[in-house]
C-alpha cells in the first residue's frame, strides 16, 4: 500500500522483469515472487535461498490493477507468491486467481496477531497470510498549521487551512472514505448516495484556491520537506521512514491519524491458483512468519508487523506512533470495502469526473 515501495527501485524492477519466469524456465528449485518494488529485505531472500538451496526470482508491479491484469493474463500460472492489498483479496478469491492455503504446511501460523487472524477480507486466513500493515493519515507542517487538530479538517475545512497548499491522494476509495468520515459517515462508507456526497465534498475542496493536486504519499512527503505544500495524505510507514532518514527536513512535520476514521490497510501473501511451486510457496510464507524474520522484514520496510511473535525484535521506531498506532487510534482504523461489478464501475466513473472537472 505504501507509495514508497511502489515508486523506488523502478530501474531494478525493470531489470528483474526482463529476467522474469522465462529466465529460469524448467528449474524446479526456483520461487517466483510477484510483489511491490522495494518491499523485501534482500538479506531475507538470501537466507531463504540458502536454507532451502533454491533461487528466488522477483518480479514487480506498481499497482493493484496491474497485478490483477497480469494474473488474469497468465500470471496465475507463472508466480508462486504474490503480495496483494486486502481490498483486492475478495476479487482474487471470486475470480479463482488464488488457491486456498494448506495450513498443515504453515507451522508458524499462530504467530499472526489476533487482529489479523480472522480478517473480514479473508475469513480465517483461508487464502492469505498478512505481510505488513499500516494506516493512511495526514502529514502537515506545524509551523504553517500550528493548531491543526487530529482531523480531516486539516484538508477539508477552509477555516483550518485557507492559505497554504495541500494535496489529496489519487486513490478513489481512500479519498472518498476520507470525505465520508469528514461528513460524519463511516470511513468505510458504501452506497451510491454516500459516494455521491463524498464526490461533491471532494469537488468543493478541489475548487479551493489553495488545493495543490491529487498526489500520492511519497511525493507529498517530498513536497512537505521542500515547503511546496503544508499538508497532504500519506502512509504512516512512509512518514516514519522519511523522518528517520532526514530528521532535519522533517523536524516541523507531524503525522496524525484523523479521529473521524481512516484506512487500515494490510498487504498479504497469497499463492496463485496454478502456481508452479506451491510447496515452495508455503515454505516461503512460513519462513516470513518466523518471529525474527517477520521483525527483519518490518525493520527493512518501516511498516508495522502483523506478526505478534516478531514484536520483541522490532526496531524502536516501529514500536510507537506513527508506525504503531495507539489503542485509541486503532479504533479509528477501517478496512476499505472490496468493490466489484456495478459498484466498482460507479466509483471509478465518479472519480474520473472529480479529477477531470
Residue 72 neighbours by CB under 8 Å, 6+ apart: 95, 97
Q: How far apart are CA 132 and CA 129, in angstroms?
A: 10
Taking each continuous run of H as one helix and of E as one strand, the counts in the chain are 14, 10
37 and 5 Cβ atoms separated by less than 8 Å: yes
Angle CA 270–12–268, to nearest 5: 15
C-alpha cell at 170: 489519487
Q: How many CB atoms neighbour CB 159 within 10 A? A: 6
The C-alpha cell 460507479 sits at 346
Q: Which residues contact 255 (CB under 8 A, 6 or more apart)?
A: 137, 138, 139, 234, 236, 239, 321, 322
How far apart are alpha carbons 58 and 45 in whole angstroms? 10
Question: Of 131, 216, 202, 126, which is closest to residue 171 (Cα–Cα)?
Answer: 216
Is 60 labelled as part of a ligand binding site?
no
Q: What is the DSSP letter of 307?
A: B
Spatial contact of 357 and 206, defined as CB atoms under 8 Å apart: yes
Q: Would you give the DSSP letter of residue 299?
A: H
Q: Binding site for spermidine: which residues?
A: 87
Q: Binding site: which residues?
A: 87
Amino acid at each position: 500500500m505504501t507509495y514508497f515501495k511502489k515508486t523506488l527501485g523502478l530501474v531494478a524492477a525493470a531489470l528483474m522483469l526482463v529476467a522474469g519466469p522465462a529466465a529460469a524456465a524448467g528449474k524446479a528449485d526456483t520461487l517466483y515472487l510477484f510483489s511491490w518494488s522495494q518491499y523485501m529485505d534482500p538479506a531475507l531472500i538470501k537466507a531463504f535461498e540458502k536454507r532451502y538451496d533454491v533461487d528466488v526470482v522477483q518480479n514487480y508491479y506498481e499497482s493493484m490493477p496491474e497485478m490483477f491484469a497480469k494474473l488474469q493474463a497468465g500470471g496465475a500460472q507463472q508466480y508462486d507468491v504474490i503480495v496483494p492489498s486486502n481490498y483486492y483479496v475478495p476479487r482474487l478469491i471470486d475470480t479463482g486467481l488464488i488457491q486456498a492455503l494448506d495450513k498443515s504446511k504453515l507451522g508458524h501460523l499462530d504467530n499472526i496477531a489476533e487482529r489479523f487472524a480472522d480478517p473480514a477480507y479473508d475469513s480465517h486466513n483461508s487464502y492469505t497470510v498478512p505481510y505488513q500493515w499500516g494506516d493512511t493519515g495526514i502529514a502537515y507542517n506545524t509551523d504553517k498549521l500550528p493548531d491543526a487538530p487530529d482531523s480531516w479538517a486539516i484538508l477539508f475545512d477552509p477555516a483550518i487551512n485557507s492559505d497554504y497548499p495541500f494535496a489529496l491522494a489519487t486513490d478513489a476509495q481512500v479519498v472518498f472514505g476520507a470525505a465520508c468520515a469528514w461528513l460524519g459517515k463511516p470511513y468505510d462508507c458504501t452506497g451510491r448516495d454516500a459516494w455521491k456526497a463524498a464526490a461533491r465534498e471532494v469537488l468543493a475542496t478541489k475548487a479551493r484556491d489553495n488545493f495543490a493536486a491529487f498526489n500520492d504519499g511519497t511525493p507529498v512527503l517530498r513536497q512537505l520537506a521542500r515547503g511546496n505544500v503544508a499538508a497532504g495524505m500519506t502512509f504512516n510507514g512512509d512518514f516514519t521512514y522519511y523522518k528517520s532518514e532526514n530528521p532535519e527536513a522533517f523536524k516541523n512535520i507531524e503525522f496524525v491519524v484523523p479521529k473521524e476514521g481512516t484506512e487500515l490497510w494490510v498487504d498479504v501473501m497469497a499463492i496463485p491458483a496454478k502456481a508452479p511451486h506451491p510447496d515452495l510457496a508455503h515454505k516461503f510464507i512460513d519462513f516470513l512468519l518466523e518471529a525474527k524474520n517477520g521483525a527483519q522484514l518490518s525493520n527493512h520496510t518501516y511498516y508495522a508487523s502483523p506478526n505478534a511473535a516478531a514484536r520483541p525484535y522490532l526496531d524502536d521506531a516501529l514500536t510507537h506512533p506513527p508506525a504503531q498506532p495507539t489503542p485509541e487510534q486503532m479504533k479509528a482504523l477501517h478496512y476499505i470495502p472490496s468493490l466489484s461489478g456495478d459498484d466498482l464501475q460507479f466509483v471509478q466513473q465518479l472519480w474520473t469526473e472529480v479529477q477531470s472537472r
